[in-house]
């Protein structure tokens, strides 16, 4: 890695992004979280390299005490480090990144993806050099910002104003359907401050929300990833009458039975402009009542529809535990 950083990353030719893949149980997860706590004090890579060196030399048990001891060894504020580690505030991030890496078919570490080209294991510098040079020959423009990337940069997605015309090639006769411009689909670690109460796409987390029925508030970042996979997000006001909520649940169950797979995500959401809002990628419909005949038509039209960025991608096997019935 040192030579790769020196010749390609530090010179701005290659942008390097690190993802956690905690696959060895609780100790692996805890250590990944500890590295993020070190990152809070600006020493992610120094701590990362020290942990690996420690495993080579001593193979110590990486419990909380040992992780704090290693943190002290590179001059970290151990009080702040231990508070961070005990809070588990990076647990969701590590879990999401690990699931994302696993969804790519990767099963071990180290593993590298170079613009889609997979390199497995600790290969010599020349193995990377060959692939990188071939790619640079095709696109020689240097990266404008050369530093190694680890910590996400906070970003606020722009407000998505509805389109005045439907997207080219998309026809709809469902009254009230609103189309939005392509919001982009970058991955982003951590919370995202969406401009819309129900975002119709945009930046999202690495992990998607498992489709199904929920009775709790859910993270928008993972739901938007589910939209990218072709799911329909039905959000409803928490104060919606219980009989209407049950009708919504029945509708979702029927959709699952008809299609043989979950492609609808139902959950309460405060702050909605309408009692019920159905959303897919770039498309949205507001409803006052669950009996509105436009809702099943919307589900039929847009599940895994023509605007889906990743059609036929899964909407299960990731995060979240939907209600069984």
Q: What is the pLDDT of residues 262-287, one digit of tens each?
A: 789 999 999 999 999 999 999 999 99
| Separation of alpha carbons 207 and 126, rounded Å | 33
| Separation of alpha carbons 223 and 318, rounded Å | 11
Residue 257 has pLDDT above 90, yes or no: no
**Percent helix, strand and coil across the chain, each rounded to 5?**
35, 10, 50
**Intrachain domains 2-138 and 178-302 with the same fold:** yes
pLDDT digit string, tens, across residues 56-110: 777 767 888 889 999 999 999 999 999 998 888 887 777 777 776 776 667 677 7
DSSP β-bridge partners for residue 112:
119
290 band by pLDDT with thresholds 50, 70 and 90: very high
Question: Mean pLDDT across the stretch 305-313?
Answer: 85
Question: Mean pLDDT across the stretch 123-140?
Answer: 80
Name residue, tokens 């790519």.
104
Residue 149 has pLDDT above 90, yes or no: no
Joined tokens for residue 150: 């680890």
Q: Can you give the pLDDT at residue 165? A: 54
Q: Which of 3.40.718.10, 3.40.50.620, 3.30.70.360, 3.40.30.10 is the CATH number of 2-138?
A: 3.40.30.10
118 band by pLDDT with thresholds 50, 70 and 90: confident
Least Cα distance to 234 among 174, 289, 280, 178 occurs for 280
| Cβ atoms 93, 36 nearer than 8 A | yes
Buried b (16+ CB within 10 A) or exposed e, 231-248: bbbbbbbeebeeebbebb
Name residue, tokens 């060959």.
130
Joined tokens for residue 48: 């990362």
Question: What SS3 class is residue 268?
Answer: strand
Question: Mean pLDDT across the stretch 163-190?
Answer: 74
154 band by pLDDT with thresholds 50, 70 and 90: very low
Higher pLDDT, 167 or 123: 123
Question: Mean pLDDT across the stretch 19-35?
Answer: 83
Q: Tell me, rounded to whole angstroms, the distance of Cα 143 from its chain centroid.
A: 24
| Separation of alpha carbons 189 and 96, rounded Å | 9
CA-to-CA separations, 144 to 7, 13, 76, in angstroms, rounded? 15, 9, 31
List Cβ neighbours of 169 (8 Å cut-off, separation of 6 or more).
Answer: 306
| Separation of alpha carbons 246 and 251, rounded Å | 9
Percent of the chain with pLDDT over 70: 85
| Separation of alpha carbons 181 and 266, rounded Å | 24
Question: What SS3 class is residue 69?
Answer: helix
Name residue, tokens 């993972």.
222
Angle at 244 between CA 304 and CA 301, to 5 degrees: 20
Q: Which of 3.40.30, 3.30.70, 3.40.50, 3.10.450 is the CATH number of 178-302?
A: 3.40.30
Percent of the chain with pLDDT over 90: 31
Q: Can you give the pLDDT at residue 49? A: 87
Residue 54 has pLDDT above 50, yes or no: yes
List Cβ neighbours of 280 (8 Å cut-off, separation of 6 or more).
Answer: 200, 227, 230, 231, 232, 233, 302, 303, 305, 307, 308
Q: Can you give the pLDDT at residue 146? A: 43
Higher pLDDT, 251 or 148: 251
Question: Domain extents for the chain?
Answer: 2-138, 178-302
| Separation of alpha carbons 209 and 128, rounded Å | 34
Q: How many CB atoms lie within 10 A of CB 20?
A: 24
pLDDT digit string, tens, across residues 195-237: 888 999 999 998 999 999 999 999 999 999 999 999 999 999 9
């Amino acid at each position: 890695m040192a030579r790769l950083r020196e010749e390609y990353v530090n010179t701005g030719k290659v942008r390097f992004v690190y993802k956690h893949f905690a696959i060895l149980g609780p100790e692996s997860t805890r250590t990944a979280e500890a590295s993020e706590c070190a990152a809070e004090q600006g020493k992610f890579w120094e701590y990362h390299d020290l942990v690996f060196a420690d495993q080579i030399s001593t193979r110590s048990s990486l419990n909380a005490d040992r992780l704090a001891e290693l943190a002290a060894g590179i001059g970290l504020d151990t009080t702040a480090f231990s508070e961070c580690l005990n809070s588990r505030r990076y647990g969701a991030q590590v879990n999401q990144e690990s699931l994302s890496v696993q969804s790519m078919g990767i099963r071990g570490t180290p593993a590298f993806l170079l613009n889609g080209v997979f390199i497995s294991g600790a290969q010599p510098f020349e193995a990377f050099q060959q692939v990188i040079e071939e790619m640079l020959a095709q696109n020689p423009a240097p990266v404008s910002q050369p530093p190694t990337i680890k910590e996400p940069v906070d970003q606020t997605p722009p407000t998505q104003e509805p389109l005045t015309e439907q997207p080219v090639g998309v026809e709809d006769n469902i009254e009230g359907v609103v189309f939005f411009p392509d919001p982009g689909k970058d991955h982003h670690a951590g919370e995202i401050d969406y401009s819309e109460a129900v975002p119709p796409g945009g930046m999202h987390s690495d992990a998607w929300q498992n489709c199904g029925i929920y009775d709790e508030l859910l993270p928008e970042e993972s739901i938007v990833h589910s939209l990218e996979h072709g799911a329909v997000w039905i959000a409803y006001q928490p104060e919606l009458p219980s009989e209407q909520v049950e009708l919504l649940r029945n509708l979702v169950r029927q959709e699952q039975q008809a299609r043989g797979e979950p492609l609808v995500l139902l959950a309460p959401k405060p702050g909605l402009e309408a009692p019920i809002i159905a959303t897919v990628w770039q498309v949205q419909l507001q409803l006052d009542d669950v009996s509105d005949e436009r809702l099943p038509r919307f589900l039929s039209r847009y599940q895994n529809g023509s605007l889906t960025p990743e059609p036929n991608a899964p909407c299960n096997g990731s995060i979240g535990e939907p209600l069984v019935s």
